[in-house]
Structure 1
């Protein structure tokens, strides 16, 4: 499977915000829609900083 874990960059480092992410969709006003394999959904304010498919990692930088 190709699920990834999403992290939000904070001043303290990377904070895990969602596991088993299978869908990321950019929305208006600097927001991202995330959905996991079980159907849980979240909308996060931020922009994609990195997507590393080998490490199954999505890094989101908080919108300024």
Structure 2
């Protein structure tokens, strides 16, 4: 499978928040992630980088 994994950037490194992200939507400073099996997660933050070859979505959370 070619789905990406989403990570939040922390001072200690990358923390995985969702595996197998099938859909991602950004609206009003929120990132809505939907997994391959329909699980959902909302993160208040901004996308820092998407590494397509590594299947990684890197996110910085906002306070």
Provide TM-score, normalisation by structure 1.
0.90
> What stretches of structure 2 of length at least 5 have no aligned partner?
none
Q: Which runs of 4+ in 1 moved over 6 A?
A: none
Which sections of structure 1, spanning at least 5 residues, go unmatched?
A: none
What's 2:31 paired with?
A: 32
- Aligned partners of 1:5 and 1:18 also within 8 Å: yes
Q: Output aligned runs, 1:1-64, within 5 Å.
A: 1-28=1-28, 30-64=29-63
Find the aligned partners of 1:21 and 1:14 in 2 and give their Cα distance.
Answer: 16
Q: How many residues align?
A: 63
CA contact (8 A) 1:5 1:19 kept: yes
Q: What is the CA distance between 1:11 and its match in structure 2?
A: 1.4
